[in-house]
Amino acid sequence: MKKPQDRDRQGAYRDESGRTLADYPRPSVAVDTAVLTVEGGRLCVLLVRGPDGGEGLPGTFLHPGETLADASLRALRDKAQVEGLAPHQLKVFDDPDRDSRGWVLSVAHLDAVRAALIPLTDRSSLVPVDECPPLAYDHTAIIAHAAAVLRDGYRRLPDPWRLLESGEEGVTIRDLRLLHEQVLGERLVPDTFRRTMLPGLRGTGRVRRGSRGKPAELYRIDRR
């Protein structure tokens, strides 16, 4: 008797109902990447303009033999001329009606970098995440989820995505607070912020002297 999940005489896999993989409809797989940064004092996302004039995230369809990470990097390079990033897989968006062209799953990715590392072209722009125009497919939902994930990290840890250029001297608590306020889009209570962030900082033993007020202690962010 033929057992479930046996292979037939041609070596094709069959499941317990006797079907091969080719008997099931297969969705297309897309990769869309939300690249976030701080520009003009606000959390922004990189958008690209397509051939039809509509705006959306840099995205592409997965090619045969290609990894999702490679597809994300290819889309960033080909559609936004952005290289040198390392996007993190974020979430699968699988609403069957998300794409009017057909059944398409999107594996969303996220990266966050300093704005200076994002070269803009005549087909790309940085737009505040809370003021995006109407976008293709469900890219608005992808951006909202990416921003929520990023902001959650900034509520708990000092600059987890390295958006602050710290240099050799280190950073002050105020430097960090101003960045976190820009990422979160809200004012933070200085004393509460300091208590939350201090466990992730290491003192340098140095201070920064300004023209007014007492010298500010300099810290290194503990990346362990």
Summarize pLDDT for 128-144 with one digit per residue, the tens. Answer: 999 999 998 999 999 99
Q: What is the pLDDT of residue 1?
A: 39
Residue whose C-alpha is closest to residue 61's, from 102, 119, 95, 20: 102
Residue whose C-alpha is closest to residue 62's, from 50, 79, 75: 75
Looking at every residue in the chain, the average pLDDT score rounds to 90
- pLDDT-based confidence at 214, cuts 50/70/90? confident
8 A C-beta contact, residue 62 and residue 77: no
Q: What is the pLDDT of residue 69?
A: 96
Distances (CA, A) of 60 to 41, 44, 56, 74, 80: 30, 21, 11, 8, 12
Q: What sign does the CA torsion over 193, 161, 142, 125 have?
A: positive
Residue whose C-alpha is closest to residue 219's, from 180, 169, 182: 169
Q: pTM above 0.85?
A: yes
Q: Convert the pLDDT of each residue in 96-124 to its tens digit.
A: 989 888 899 999 999 999 999 999 999 99
Q: What is the pLDDT of residue 8?
A: 53
Q: What is the pLDDT of residue 4?
A: 45
Region 38-63 average pLDDT: 94
Locate 120 and state its tokens. Answer: 């803009």
Q: Convert the pLDDT of each residue in 67-106 to its tens digit.
A: 999 999 999 999 999 999 999 999 999 999 898 888 999 9
Locate 135 and state its tokens. Answer: 């976008």
Q: What is the pLDDT of residue 18?
A: 82
Domain 171-221 class in CATH: mainly alpha
Q: Is the pLDDT of residue 24 over 80?
A: no
Q: What is the pLDDT of residue 15?
A: 79
Domain ranges of the chain: 28-155, 171-221
Q: Convert the pLDDT of each residue in 147-194 to its tens digit.
A: 999 999 999 999 999 999 876 789 999 999 999 999 999 999 999 999
Angle formed at CA 107 by CA 106 and CA 111, multiple of 5 degrees: 125
Q: What is the pLDDT of residue 10?
A: 58
Q: What is the pLDDT of residue 191?
A: 97
Locate 12 and state its tokens. Answer: 């094709």
Angstrom distance (rounded) from CA 143 to CA 154: 16
- pLDDT-based confidence at 213, cuts 50/70/90? low
Residue for token pair 């995440």? 129
CATH number belonging to domain 28-155 = 3.90.79.10
